[in-house]
Structure 1
Amino acid sequence: MARKEDDMGEASGYRPPAVVRAMDVLEILSQGRPQRLSDLARLTGVGKSTLLGILNALEERRWVERRDRLYGLGPGLLRLVRRAYGLWNVAEVARPFLERIAADLGVTALVGVPAGDRVRIEDCVPGGQGMQVQARPGEAVPFFAPATAKAFLSALPPERGRALLGRRRLPRFTDRSKVDPEAFWAEVEQARERGYAEDKGEYLEGVRAVAAAVRVGGDPVALVWAVGFGAGLTEAGWHAAGHRVREAADAIARALARESAGGPPAAGPGSPGA
């Protein structure tokens, strides 16, 4: 009997009203203009009490966010799309920035996307001559590899970052690894203040890295980092690399935001708006 009801539902094209109303709300908000509850009620023809329940459900998924009584799309939709289809053409957008960092500083520059308990490398550009840190697109590093993990956590609201870190001991990759979550969190906070994270031989012995998060819609969606042997740059040189990585991450974020909004092609380094 239940099967017959399912068949009838398919044949009749039945659409649950609440689902249709939620889709209507998302379609309206996708136009980019935040809306008040009263405006959404007028545009959808749905009563305020019913509409509020729909908005609350969408807020729980972070598909919708409310700020100062205005509703807009939230980062949850972005994460959903990214899981299903990947993050646009992040490698293509990031490539000119990575090339410039690698050429100017002689370090290996990478971009990657968080994927579960790993960060998947989307592109890698070696820099300089002689021995270099090597990686290939498609390879991955552990999520809690120090530079990328600190950069990702520092780009989240503190309460979310702290919850993700938890209180468990962290992996010990080298003798320099910070395995105590309190010590690790202190470096996350430093990364938040600076705008980039550092790894001084904590993941690979004798290798340093600096990393920054690419934030779109308020959430970190990708990571840019530069890696090299510790003696390859002076201390001031590594700080300069950190600033370059942060600037590249911000420019890539702007380019991806334009692309997701259907704007003009992304600009490379030195181009207007980059």
Structure 2
Amino acid sequence: MAETLQSVHQALRILTLLRRHDDLTLTEIADRLGIGKSSTYRLLATLKTDRYVDQTPARSYRLGPAMSASAEAESAAHCAEVAHPHLVALCAATQETVHVSVLSGGHSEYIAGVEPDRALKVSTRLGSAVPAHAAAAGKILMAALTSRERDLLLPAAELTPLTDRTLRTRAALEAEVETAGRLGFARNVGESEDGVYALAVPIRRPVGRPICSLTIAGPASRIEVGPGEELSAREAVLLGRLREAAAAVEADLRY
């Protein structure tokens, strides 16, 4: 009985560790928890069988489907709650709508938002979702995924167009996602809806992948767009505000 309880305790420690840190190797898990590698391997094999953990092609481990859905939902809900005062401040500073979004399947879902008190604005649409390939939030969050993981989210080679500006192919999406990951932000200029502009940055965990994204959205007529990867003066101001707000949310999430 004592040995069984010890195994349960060690398995829970592994799950807790993987909840805080994505993609750890067998050696990293064993070293961080002070468990022998052979014992760690046996525990991971059991957890993998029951889909509590998954093993990546690089042989590292992360939470599996049996754990990740509930853990991600809890993390996202906490992020939305912590972010709210920062959303209010960001909206007041920019006079544009601000959102917190998460990836849900192949979609970007709005889980929190604040909109300005002005006639011409983008609505918050909390609880609604748009295809991830047509959203700035979706693109910046997909930048943290592997190509294989994006294949699972969006298996079709051709992407569903929402406007004339929507990316149509996986090749075009991969190029834009790579750019978003390199620059640390993503844009959407009329890709999900004509006349709507959005700029998104990730909200990151201390270690691992982003929890969610932070987006500023407004009428495209009000926000000049820079050429290529360049930002206009207005975009540069908005990006600076976004990054400051995201950093403030991340700091609050650590406590």
1:218 correspondence with 2:208: yes
Match for 1:234: what amino acid? E
Q: Whose radius of gyration is greater, 1 or 2?
A: 1
Match for 2:12: what amino acid? L
CA positional deviation for 1:169: 1.0
Structure 1 residues 122 and 176, CA gap change in structure 2 (3 angstroms)? same
Task: Find the counterpart in structure 2 of residue 91 from structure 1.
Answer: 80
1:202 correspondence with 2:199: no
CA positional deviation for 1:83: 5.3
Question: Residue 189 of structure 1 aligns to a residue in which SS?
Answer: helix
How far apart in 1 are the matches of 2:155 and 2:221? 33
Written as runs of structure 1 = structure 2, the 5 A alignment for 1:1-274 is 17=4, 21-27=7-13, 30=16, 35-36=30-31, 39-41=34-36, 49-56=38-45, 58=47, 63=53, 74=62, 76=64, 79-82=68-71, 85=74, 87-127=76-116, 129-161=118-150, 164-216=153-205, 217-235=207-225, 236=232, 237-256=234-253, 258=254, 263=255
How far apart in 2 are the matches of 1:219 and 1:75? 12
Highest RCO, 1 vs 2 (Cα 8 Å, sep ≥ 6)? 2
How far apart in 2 are the matches of 1:211 and 1:107? 13
How far apart in 1 are the matches of 2:40 and 2:34? 11
Task: Find the counterpart in structure 2 of residue 8 from structure 1.
Answer: none
TM-score by length of 2: 0.73
Asked whether the equivalents of residues 210 and 227 of structure 1 are also in contact (C-alpha less than 8 Å), the reply is: yes
How far apart in 1 are the matches of 2:106 and 2:54? 26
Gap regions ≥5 residues in structure 2: 21-27, 226-231
Question: Residue 89 of structure 1 aligns to a residue in which SS?
Answer: helix
How far apart in 2 are the matches of 1:208 and 1:38? 46
Asked whether the equivalents of residues 114 and 221 of structure 1 are also in contact (C-alpha less than 8 Å), the reply is: no
Structure 1 residues 34 and 201, CA gap change in structure 2 (3 angstroms)? same
Number of residue-to-residue matches in the alignment = 234
TM-score by length of 1: 0.69
How far apart in 2 are the matches of 1:143 and 1:16? 47
Match for 2:185: what amino acid? Y
